[in-house]
Amino acid sequence: MIHPTAIVHPNANIARGAEIGPYSIVGENVTIGAGTVLQAHVVVNGWTEIGEECQIFPFATIGAASQDRKYYGERAYTKIGNRTTIREYVSIQRATGEDQVTSVGDDCLFLAYVHVAHNCIVGNGVTMSNLAQIAGHCEIGDSATIGGMAGMHQFTRVGRYAMIGGASKLTKDIPPFFLIEGNPAAPYGLNSVGLRRAGFSVEERNEIKRFYKHIYDPKLNVSQAIETMKTEVTTEPGREIIAFLEAPSQRGILK
């Protein structure tokens, strides 16, 4: 199902059942999975893999050279998982560095004008609202939500099930399960609605809430909060928060 006006390189690997719409362009080193639909005017180039049953809307660009002064044309990858929806004018760019990867997981939803820069790692089930922008080397955990017009500084991490409010400016790491908003960004408690919808137990939600209070206790620094949490932890989400805080970070934790 390739429209006659589309330009598809003969070496591209297009699975049976994929569709390439009018005026779309698919480059030489592109792989597109079964059931994926490129609507009109989509451009996919570079060393790019797109999974199965994705929906890519008009004027999206995937796999273009990174907007990075350190990129000199080396082979670098862009990988998109299965069942991900990419709306109009979204740009997802290949990595910088030989054999490095920009990756987006399964079941993500990127609304119009979202930008994912080089070397970003985006997990499964992530929602990014209109005009959300993430700079190079950012990491977003599974099922996180990034509000419209939010911006992330390079090397920032966002934990699983975190919720970032619209028009927020992120320059520090956001632990999993928390709600952050503002410019400058500030913590506003738990992503309670998201946690209930995802089936987190009362015990898990109570521990997350208790750990939130430890992290943002003005009498404790991050190291002291971690030691306190280690004496109290009983659930997997609690252990996940501790692991996130102890992981290497170039930006530090939002306090």
Q: What is the pLDDT of residue 227?
A: 98
Residue 179 lies in a domain: yes
pLDDT, tens digit, for every residue of 225-251? 999 999 999 999 999 999 999 999 999
Which region, left, alpha or beta, applies to residue 195 given φ > 0 means left and ψ of -120 to 50 means alpha? Answer: alpha
Tokens read off for 220: 């404790």
Q: Are residues 74 and 111 in the same domain?
A: yes
Cross-strand partners of 253: 173
Q: Are 32 and 128 contained in the same domain? A: yes
Boundary (domain end) residue, out of 172, 191, 210: 191
Mean pLDDT score, 57-75: 98
Q: Is the pTM of this model over 0.95?
A: yes
Q: What is the pLDDT of residues 165-182, one digit of tens each?
A: 999 999 999 999 999 999
Work out the mean pLDDT of the chain and round it to a whole number: 98
- 168 and 222 in a single domain? The answer is no
* Domain enclosing residue 119, as ranges: 7-191
- Could you give the CA distance from residue 137 to residue 68 in angstroms, rounded to a whole number? 11
pLDDT of residue 178: 98
Is residue 107 within 8 A of residue 82, CB to CB? The reply is yes
Structural domains of the chain, count = 2
For residue 95, what pLDDT band results from cuts at 50, 70 and 90? very high
Are 175 and 79 contained in the same domain? yes
Could you tell me if 156 and 172 are in contact, meaning their C-beta atoms sit under 8 angstroms apart? Answer: yes
Name the packing angle between helices 222-230 and 236-246 (round to 10°): 150
**Segment 102-112 mean pLDDT:** 98
Residue 56 maps to which CATH number?
2.160.10.10
Q: Of 144, 167, 191, which one is at a domain's C-terminal end?
A: 191
Tell me: do 31 and 138 sit in the same domain.
yes
Helix (H) or strand (E) holding 194: helix 192-197
Which tokens hold the place of 84?
């991900």
Q: Look at residue 253 and tell me if it is in a domain.
A: no
